[in-house]
């Protein structure tokens, strides 16, 4: 049992803002290296090496940004809600800080997914915007993120803001599948099925490999961004504590 506790100690320690700050400080250089390596090789492979699409030519290459951003935008919402739930149930402040940091990153990724989709849509579909089921769902996801962000900023008490936005994130989590299903159903009702995205399984292996590298790169990048945002939040919240003061005075005396 003792060894079992030891093995997980680093994980439990993440519940303390100070330990989180120190542990992620040690991890960050490695994560940053991995993210830049994956993203650089994925971009090089995807933009220069992979063959152009038979019908779309080179414009398809935007999927190397679009798809990973869309995936992480959705995954990010669940990470945010999960962190909020952990915070609400076990009353862990650190978890709330992670949740708060996940919101702006997720909103930015959702925006990137929508923007790259619009840029790709112009040459391929002849229009920047169509009320396609997936596009509409992503737009509603952006609204959900913006709601969480707005609620976080509305409270003067940080503790209240954490808890309230965690509840909202959880309510949103239950609604995401409902929204997706209802919009999907609405789309088949209203839209003629003339515009179809090439289904994921039909993608050629030469195009798929760099996409997988990019998706992995975005995952690591997401972790890096989440750590950086959370570290900033820790410093902001713990500004009066002794260890942050010591940290700041060390930095400034250097």
Among 174, 232, 239, 248, binds another protein (CB under 8 A): 174
Of 62 and 169, nearer to another protein (C-beta) is 169
The stretch near another protein (CB under 8 A) out of 10-18, 101-109, 153-161, 238-246 is 153-161
- Shortest distance in whole angstroms from residue 109 CB to another protein: 17
Among 65, 103, 138, 183, binds another protein (CB under 8 A): 183
Q: Which of residues 185, 191, 236, 248 is near another protein by CB under 8 A?
A: 185
225 binds another protein (CB under 8 A): no
Q: Indicate which single residue of 171, 197, 200, 239 sits in contact with another protein (rule: CB under 8 A).
A: 171
Would you count residue 104 as binding another protein (CB under 8 A)? no
- What span, in angstroms and rounded, lies between the C-alpha atoms of 64 and 73? 15
* Residue 232 is a binding residue for another protein (CB under 8 A): no
Q: Rule CB under 8 A: choose which of 167, 203, 215, 235 binds another protein.
A: 167
Angle at 119 between CA 117 and CA 125, to 5 degrees: 80
C-alpha angle 67-68-73 in degrees, rounded to nearest 5 = 100
- Which is nearer to another protein, 151 or 203 (by Cβ)? 151
Buried b (16+ CB within 10 A) or exposed e, 116-136: bbbebbeebbeeeebebbebb
Instruction: Please list the residues that pair with 53 across neighbouring strands.
Output: 57
Asked if 140 interacts with another protein (CB under 8 A), we say: yes
Distances (CA, A) of 78 to 67, 74, 98, 124: 17, 7, 12, 31
Q: How far apart are CA 19 and CA 96, in angstroms?
A: 15
Is position 89 an interface residue for another protein (rule: CB under 8 A)? no
78 binds another protein (CB under 8 A): no
Contact between 131 and another protein per CB under 8 A: no
User: Judged by CB, which is closer to another protein: 126, or 192?
Assistant: 192
Report if residue 151 touches another protein, rule: CB under 8 A.
yes
8: burial class by Cβ within 10 Å (0-12, 13-18, 19+)?
exposed
- Phi then psi for residue 57, to 5 deg, are 65, -135
Using rule CB under 8 A, residue 164 touches another protein = yes
Q: Which of 160, 197, 208, 248 binds another protein (CB under 8 A)?
A: 160
DSSP string, 68-89: HHHHHHHHHHHHHHHHHHHHHH
Say whether 155 sits in a helix, a strand or coil. coil
Q: Which residues bind another protein (CB under 8 A)?
A: 88, 140, 143-144, 146-147, 150-151, 154-155, 160, 163-164, 167-168, 170-172, 174-175, 178-179, 181-183, 185-186, 189
């Amino acid at each position: 049992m003792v060894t079992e506790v030891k093995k997980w100690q680093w994980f439990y320690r993440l519940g303390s803002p100070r330990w989180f700050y120190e542990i992620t400080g040690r991890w960050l250089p490695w994560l940053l290296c991995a993210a830049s390596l994956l993203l650089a090789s994925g971009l090089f492979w995807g933009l220069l090496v992979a063959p152009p699409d038979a019908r779309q030519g080179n414009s398809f290459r935007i999927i190397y940004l679009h798809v990973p951003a869309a995936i992480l935008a959705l995954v990010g919402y669940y990470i945010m809600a999960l962190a909020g739930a952990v915070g609400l149930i076990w009353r862990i402040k650190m978890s709330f800080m992670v949740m708060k940091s996940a919101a702006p990153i997720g909103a930015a990724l959702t925006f990137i997914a929508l923007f790259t989709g619009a840029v790709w849509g112009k040459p391929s579909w002849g229009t920047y915007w169509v009320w396609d089921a997936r596009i509409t769902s992503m737009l509603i996801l952006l609204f959900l993120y913006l709601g969480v962000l707005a609620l976080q900023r509305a409270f003067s008490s940080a503790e209240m803001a954490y808890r309230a936005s965690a509840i909202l994130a959880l309510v949103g989590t239950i609604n995401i599948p409902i929204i997706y299903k209802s919009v999907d159903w609405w789309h088949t009702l209203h839209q003629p099925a003339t515009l179809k995205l090439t289904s994921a399984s039909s993608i050629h292996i030469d195009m798929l490999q760099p996409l997988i590298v990019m998706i992995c790169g975005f995952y690591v990048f997401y972790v890096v961004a989440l750590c950086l945002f959370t570290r900033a939040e820790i410093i902001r919240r713990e500004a009066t504590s002794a260890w942050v003061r010591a940290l700041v005075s060390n930095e400034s005396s250097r």
